[in-house]
Structures are given as structure tokens and as C-alpha cells.
Amino acid sequence: MSEEPAVSVGANSPLDVERVRKDFPILDRRLAGDRPLVYLDSANTSQKPTAVLDALADHYTRHNANVARAVHQLGEEATAAYEGARDKIAAFIGAPSRDEIIFTKNASEALNLVANTLASGLAENPRYRLGPGDEIVVTEMEHHSNIVPWQLAARRTGARFRWIGLTDEGRLDLSTLGELINPRTKIVSLVHQSNILGTVNDVETILARASEVGALVLLDGSQSVPHLPVDVTALGVDLMAFTGHKMVGPTGIGVLWGRREVLDGLPPFLGGGEMIETVAMEGSTFAPVPHKFEAGTPPIAQAVGLGAAVDYLCAVGMERIHDHEHAITAYALEKLHAIDGVKIIGPDTPELRGGTISFTVDGIHPHDVGQVLDEQGVAVRVGHHCARPVCVRYGIPATTRASFYLYTSTDEIDALAAGVQHVKRFFG
């Protein structure tokens, strides 16, 4: 793991990127043709540092047992590690209580948990029941995982599904916010940082309006929690979903955080072991949070791995990571702007945006851009990035997306820019 990061050269970054990169063994991989790997797909999934890989191996090698039901020593060790990860994650996002951290399999499940429990009609408090006349508000820049669950919930309950549109600059169009979020609005579910545009949204303004009308606010932090300091108490939202694998943790683990009062008000989601208080054939009662929402054997090793990921990120420092990505993003925007025919889809300056840059290259389909970049060892994502409505909004079939993280170097941005130039020559 990195010790105190030294001041780096270039890109105004506070991180010693070369030292950080040594923590991620995969970054040394050579691809076919002995090309070095230039990994610019961290918004898709991040790479993992040795500390996380070791934590996973150590758990399976030394402590493996099921949690919360074994009286033996391994069971106690596994339970302590699993619950210890909950403590770390609560502290990491500024949650007032560890019991407000629910482990899920990913962010999609966390979002579905909220949509499904609100739609189930099982809550005692009508605030947590969707029905005809109620309204659900999302934004046009959501990932499909924050659109489809709500469309389904609307179909089940008769609630109305609405959305905040986008400006030409790739930001939320808040001009009609007062009408869109109104006393009929039961929940506003929005992305903190867009996975396709890179936009960091103005949560405060939306939250203020939602509070006026008493609507719940759910934040999709999948692309923000890994990249900038996020404190749920300071933000003031009601619920937040995020995922482990995008924040140097393993796949198979996500998190739903919610204010205690809200989580208590929502009915159970999945039924099964561990989520109950008592079960009788005539009916069952349920465990208090967080276990109420954790039916069955949870992703134990993955939670332990996510705890190690959080330790790693904290040791490097989230402020530093954010500043580094800001510098890298500014550098990348400048490089991409300088290429004829390249158009940025989303905010084209580094202000209020993260290190995820979507772009198009005139006359060349993103699939071809991505394929030829791959031939040069540059890994990007192409397509609609599970945010098809954004592509429709900007009249494009797809984009090429380069996304950065704490280990992204200016050399890699140079490789991207050179790669795009090569793409243009190849198809020119």
C-alpha cells in the first residue's frame, strides 16, 4: 500500500501515481503483442490493489465460515470481519449508525430494494407506499438500473413515472423543477455522478425542493462514492446506493445506506434466513435493520474485501483522489478538444464533473473507435453505457467512454489521444 503520497510531477495532481500504480498488479500486464495495458474503463469496473486481493485470500484461507449462526471460532472470526466491514463503510460515508448499512449484491439490487419495497404496499406508514396519484421522479441521465425498477414500480402501483430532462451542456434542466417535484411526489431517485456524461449533479437544489414537498430522496452514488468524499449526513439525502467493484473492491457486493427512520419504515424485501425475528406457520416477524434486508448467506468475503478497499482509499485519501482525478480530467479534456472531429458528450470543462469522458469521433462508429484503441492496448468502453436515454437525448447511437481513477497517469491520457488520432487515420 502507498505510504504518504509524495508530490507528483505533472497534471497538478497531489498523488504520486507511479507509487499508487505499484499497488495494482494488473496494471503491469502486457497484452497481446506485448503492448502495455492502458486501462481507461474504471467507471465500468475498477482494478483491485494487492491489499484487497490479500484480504480476500486471507479470508478464504484462514477465516472462512458462515456468519451470525456459528458458535465456533471460525464463525466468530468471519462474523467479526463481516460486521467490521460494516463499521468501516459506515464511517467512510459518514453514516450516523452502522446499522444503516445494508449489504446487497450490487447497486442495482440496492436500487431495486427501495423501488420494490415502496411498491409492495406492505409498509404501515403510507409515506412508504406507492399508489395511484403518487409520482416518482428520476432524471434523464440515470443508469438503466435507476430507471427500469421505477418504471416497473409505476406499473405495479399506478404511480406516475416522471423525469428531469437535460440541457445541451449535459446538465440537469432544473427550470421546471418546481412542477416536476410537487406534493404528489413520493420519491426522487437521482444519480450523483453520471456514468456516461461525468456530470456531478446539484443534489442540494433538488433535495431542497424534495424536502419542501416531503418526498424521499435516493441517491445513486455508484460513480461518486469511489471518486470523491461523500458524506451522507452532510448531503442530507434519505437513501444512497453504491457498489463495491467500482471502488477498488470485489464484485458481488453493493451497499444501500438509509436513514434509520426510513429503513425502519420500509417493509422487508427478500425473505429468508437471517432477516427474521421469529417464524411460525401462522406468520413471521422480522429482525431489526440491517438484518431485516439481508436474507440468506450474505456476500461475506466480498464485504471483507470491500472493507479492505475502504481502508486502502482512506489511506490514500479521498480528497487527494478527487484532486488527482480533477487534474487528470482537465488534462484529458484539453487533449481531446485538440483533436479535430472529437466531440465531448457532457460538460466540456472540468468543473462539476468527474473523470468519465464520453466522446464521439466524426464519421466513425464508437465500436470501431474502441476496437482500434484496443489494438493499441487502450481499454475503453463503447456503447450506450446502460444509459440509452442519454444517447437518444443527444441524437447519437453510442459513445466512446474513457474513465479514470487514482491510478490513471498522464501518459495514459497521451496514449488515448494518440490512439484516437490513429483511429482517424485508419478509417480516414
Partner 1 sequence: MNDSLYQEIILDHYKHPHGRGLREPFDAEAHHVNPTCGDEITVRVALDGEKVVDVSYEGQGCSISQASASVLHELLTGSTITDAMAVEQSFVELMQGKGQIEPDEDVLGDGIAFAGVAKYPARVKCALLSWMAFKDATARAVGSPVVAAEEERR
Closest to partner 1 by CB, 333 vs 372, is 372
In the set 391, 413, 415, 420, which binds partner 1 (CB under 8 A)?
391
Which residues contact residue 191 at a Cβ distance below 8 angstroms, ignoring those fewer than 6 apart?
A: 139, 141, 142, 143, 146, 201, 219, 220, 222, 223
Give the type of residue at 177. Answer: L
Q: Is 36 helix (H, G, I), strand (E, B) or coil?
A: strand
In the set 366, 377, 389, 419, which binds partner 1 (CB under 8 A)?
366
What is the signed CA dihedral for 198, 204, 206, 212, rounded to 10 degrees? 170
Which residues contact residue 71 at a Cβ distance below 8 angstroms, ignoring those fewer than 6 apart?
A: none
User: Please, what is the minimum distance in Å from the beta carbon of residue 38 to partner 1?
Assistant: 16
Part of the chain binding partner 1 (CB under 8 A), chosen from 264-272, 305-313, 324-332, 371-379: 371-379
Q: Is 91 helix (H, G, I), strand (E, B) or coil?
A: helix
Cell 456516461: give the residue.
196
Asked whether 63 and 80 are in contact (CB, 8 A), the reply is: no
Task: Decide if residue 383 touches partner 1 (CB under 8 A).
Answer: yes
In the set 97, 205, 371, 411, which binds partner 1 (CB under 8 A)?
371
Task: Decide if residue 388 touches partner 1 (CB under 8 A).
Answer: yes
Closest to partner 1 by CB, 120 vs 145, is 145
In the set 384, 393, 401, 424, which binds partner 1 (CB under 8 A)?
384
Note if 386 is an active site residue.
Answer: yes
Asked whether 252 and 105 are in contact (CB, 8 A), the reply is: yes
Catalytic entry in 56, 123, 386, 418: 386
In the set 40, 102, 262, 382, which binds partner 1 (CB under 8 A)?
382
Part of the chain binding partner 1 (CB under 8 A), chosen from 62-70, 113-121, 376-384, 411-419: 376-384
What DSSP line would sit under 332-363, residue for residue?
Answer: HHHHHHTSTTEEEES-SSSTTB-SEEEEEETT
Q: Which three cell numbers stand for residue 18?
A: 507511479
Give the span between the Cα atoms of 201 and 346, in whole angstroms: 12
Task: Decide if residue 343 touches partner 1 (CB under 8 A).
Answer: no
Part of the chain binding partner 1 (CB under 8 A), chosen from 80-88, 98-106, 279-287, 369-377: 369-377
User: Please, what is the minimum distance in Å from the beta carbon of residue 246 to partner 1?
Assistant: 20
Task: Decide if residue 60 touches partner 1 (CB under 8 A).
Answer: no
Task: Decide if residue 29 touches partner 1 (CB under 8 A).
Answer: no
Give the span between the Cα atoms of 155 and 98, in whole angstroms: 34
User: Please, what is the minimum distance in Å from the beta carbon of residue 428 to partner 1?
Assistant: 9
Contact residues: partner 1, CB under 8 A: 365-368, 371-372, 375, 382-384, 388, 391, 397-398, 426-427
Residues labelled as active-site residues: 386
